[in-house]
Amino acid sequence: MSKRLVVIGDGMVGRRFLEAITERDPSWEVTVLAEEPRPAYDRVRLSAFFDGVSAEELSLAGELPGVDVRLGEPVVSIARTSQVVYTDSGEYPYDKLVLATGSYAFVPPMEGADAEGVFVYRTIEDLEAIKAHAEGKRHGVVIGGGLLGLEAANALGLLGLKTQIVEFAPWLMARQMDEAGGGILKQHIEKLGIDVATSTGGSKIEVVDDRLRMETNQEGVAYDTDLIIFAAGVRPRDQLARECGIEVGERGGIITDLSCQTSDENVYAIGEVAAMEGVCYGLVAPGYSMAEVVADRLAGGEATFPGADMSTKLKLLGVDVAQFGAMDGPLATTYLDPVEGVYAKLILSDDAQTLLGGMLVGNAEPYPLLRASVGAKAPGQLADLLSSGEVEGTLPDAAQVCSCNAVSKGEIMGAIHEGCQDVGAIKACTKAGTSCGSCIPMLKQLLTEGGVEVSKSVCEHFSQSRAELFDIVKVTGITTFSDLIARYGSGAGCDLCKPTVASILASLSNGHILDGEQATLQDTNDHFLANMQRNGTYSVVPRIPGGEITPDKLIVIGEVAKEFDLYTKITGGQRIDMFGARVEDLPKIWKKLVDAGFESGHAYGKALRTVKSCVGTDWCRYGVQDSVKMAIDLELRYRGLRSPHKLKSAVSGCARECAEARGKDFGVIATEDGWNLYVGGNGGFTPRHADLLVSDVDGDTLVRTIDRFLMFYVSTADRLQRTSKWVEALDGGIDYLREVIVDDKLGICAELDALMAKHVDNYADEWKGVIEDPEKLQRFVSFINAPEAPDPTIEFEEVRGQKFPAGASERSHATPVLLGTPSRLDSASLSSERE
């Protein structure tokens, strides 16, 4: 006699259960009743839908032998006595029933919440409706500043809408962050042009002149908008259980024991609908654990729920956020760098020896290792950890590496020893890394620990490293991303490989970066040849080689800043920044600057920024060489050189080092006999003095050596790898580098010379390329459907005699956040150059 199993719901957790039960005990006759019209899909990556990922790519559908999946057939009732599930089109007897109905989007009680243009953010159908409604619109409001709210805000940004986040709690992501972390996250979000209002809730929505107006609990504060998304949390879908008499919790959710069994011995509940001993878990990892428990029980086992790992990692618009383990404990060690926008907090045992949990904002590189280290030896200095992303010591085999699928280090190492030689094989064998993907960097490190040479592939779409793609483009002459991925990759590409290939094409002098298909590969800053600021405006930074500028040119900068009402600031790199430019004004500003002899300073690009100089022999009585002329020559030679990361340089006229050359990617210091060249320095988290490469060389030798250094770096470095890390990673370090580019050990110096000569010959100013091209000019508008209209949501105020983004006066006088006691505050390394 067959055993009849009915599963209600086909979400991520339901699908994991089906995979587990068909593997453990295929004797069950399984019927799945699903309300949605499509099979299970990856709801964790739902926002990728707005970034070009199709519904088919998000699908989790696969072969499930012996399983009858009925889509679009919602259950209307459950008869527990007769053990039958009813739908509008049939009835389904069961021996065991699994409720995997998930949750629904919570909409706070508010008048007008059902108005046209108001949405929730839960299903692909919701996203399709949002996308359709947003066409031609300008502004959107997201109610909710948690994980889901930030994803929704990111989605509206990708649709081109100016976005406002309204959060009832005092800070963003209040369930995962403390006040300091939430504050730093808010700074990041606002710098991206998204406004954030905390301690604020909506009270009423009404339609006014074909738009929506939302009143708030703040007196006199209302938002006029085109679209509103509720992303204020979820509630368990426990209605079926309530109606048939199964016990539910006071705050919702189906009560279960540690075996996931409900008050009815023949009914189990898993995922977001389950209140495990009264607690509902809103993340996929605990749901997967429940799915495995029930599958084991139905196969005759005695598994129980092992506990929930509530770790989360989020990256939206380039902002890294992570939380793992405990949020509070006996002792905390904290790190704050307000300039770089980085905050980290580790929760430790009272003897400071054991890591209990923590949070990261602005730099989540150490997250995989830290999460896996919970319960093990606490790491050392946070500043060093954030810089290296490495935790001291070896993780114990019991450490959980993949919380989504409850995979330990021991299981992964076992798979490696049994023949899994790459990340893909580990994923297939253990399921680690198949859900949110945040543990994949850790998988690569464990492969290395297991003696396997790890691939340096750029992403899942290209098996090649950045250096290999560089060589392919150089040798084949490929000029487009589509041609490269068609011939050497797979799929449609992603936000890792697209800008990487764009940089390679630009490095090899492949025309203007906004020509044709190239324009679609650029990030926001490169797309508009300017850095986006916190209120949606842009900065304009003309090149001032060596910091030398004539009075006439200074006057032009002043006139332009005055005409377009721009905030001006002299930077640490001897340039003048102009902030607050509206996107439609950028070409007009550039035209005036270009006509006066200026060009783009590439402050927005992964390229050479500045070559700083002292006054050298021209004015200083200590100068021994003409540092100003050398700095100008170098900056004009390398301007526009696209590279894996930004580049900074300096030239000092004597050993007093007034230009701070040893803190740069390449720095030059004058000597009585010539020039010393230092490479691989930087500021930032862990300031690093550059290494001496050559000494007392003449000018021609100096330039030739820098040429080769830069082209060797551009040709071989990994994506976003600074010169400091690149030099350290070379097998043999600075000595090997000297052998390659000075002694020509590899016989490639002639090729490096030719690459630099090609760059110098093909240089063209990117600003000028836009103002001379009517097609490119069409990109520089706030609204495609209203090209002449400025963005009405951009607001300014006056502070210290200049204009600032609205709210600057409050931020300028804000009291610094105290990071709690007891704590150990690591000294933050603050970079003075932020160009």
Distance, in Å, from the CA atom of 416 to the CA atom of 435, rounded to the nearest integer, reads 20
Question: How confident is the model over 637-681, as pLDDT tens digits?
Answer: 999 999 999 999 999 999 999 999 999 999 999 999 999 999 999
Q: ∠348-354-356 over CA atoms, to 5°? A: 50
Please enumerate, by residue number, every residue annotated as part of a binding site. 614, 620, 654, 658
Whether the CB-CB separation of 612 and 662 falls below 8 Å is answered with: no
Whether cis (ω within 30° of 0) applies to the bond prior to 236 is no
Q: In what order do the strands lie in the sheet with 3-8?
A: 67-70, 28-33, 3-8, 96-99, 267-269
**Whole-number pLDDT of residue 830:** 30
Distance of CA 827 to the CA centre of its chain: 25
Model confidence at 257: pLDDT above 90: yes
Whether the CB-CB separation of 293 and 305 falls below 8 Å is answered with: yes
Model confidence at 814: pLDDT above 70: no
**Whole-number pLDDT of residue 828:** 36
Model confidence at 815: pLDDT above 60: no
Per the prediction, the chain carries an average pLDDT of 86
Model confidence at 177: pLDDT above 60: yes
Distance, in Å, from the CA atom of 65 to the CA atom of 78, rounded to the nearest integer, reads 26
Q: Which of 214-223, 432-441, 751-760 has the lowest mean pLDDT?
A: 432-441
% residues pLDDT > 70 (the chain): 91
**Whole-number pLDDT of residue 388:** 53
Question: How confident is the model over 720-779, as pLDDT tens digits?
Answer: 889 998 998 888 899 999 999 999 999 999 999 999 999 999 999 999 999 999 988 888
| Cα-Cα-Cα-Cα dihedral sign, residues 572, 575, 579, 584 | negative
Distance, in Å, from the CA atom of 740 to the CA atom of 572, rounded to the nearest integer, reads 33
Please enumerate, by residue number, every residue annotated as part of a binding site for siroheme. 658
Model confidence at 785: pLDDT above 60: no
**Whole-number pLDDT of residue 751:** 94
Q: Confidence class of residue 157 from pLDDT cuts 50, 70 and 90?
A: confident
Please enumerate, by residue number, every residue annotated as part of a binding site for [4Fe-4S] cluster. 614, 620, 654, 658
Question: How confident is the model over 462-472, as pLDDT tens digits?
Answer: 888 888 999 99
Model confidence at 212: pLDDT above 90: yes
Determine the average pLDDT of the residues in 65-93: 94
DSSP state letters, 440-505: HHHHHHHHHHTTPPPP--SBTTB-S-HHHHHHHHHHH----HHHHHHHH--SS--TTHHHHHHHHH
**Whole-number pLDDT of residue 788:** 65
Distance, in Å, from the CA atom of 658 to the CA atom of 661, rounded to the nearest integer, reads 8
Q: Which domains does the chain have, with CATH numbers?
A: 3-103+236-298 (3.50.50.60), 118-232 (3.50.50.60), 404-455 (1.10.10.1100), 466-522 (no CATH), 524-604 (3.90.480.10), 606-761 (3.30.413.10)
Determine the average pLDDT of the residues in 615-644: 92
Q: Which two tokens stand for residue 256?
A: 């279960």
pTM: 0.58
Q: Confidence class of residue 685 from pLDDT cuts 50, 70 and 90?
A: low
Could you say which DSSP state residue 600 is in? B
Distance, in Å, from the CA atom of 286 to the CA atom of 47, rounded to the nearest integer, reads 21
Model confidence at 221: pLDDT above 70: yes
Q: ∠249-255-259 over CA atoms, to 5°? A: 160
H or E element, residue 351? none
**Whole-number pLDDT of residue 795:** 78
Question: How confident is the model over 19-62, as pLDDT tens digits?
Answer: 999 999 999 999 999 999 999 998 887 877 877 778 888 888 88
Q: Which of 479-483, 671-675, 711-715 has the lowest mean pLDDT?
A: 479-483
Question: How confident is the model over 128-156, as pLDDT tens digits?
Answer: 999 999 998 999 999 999 888 988 998 89
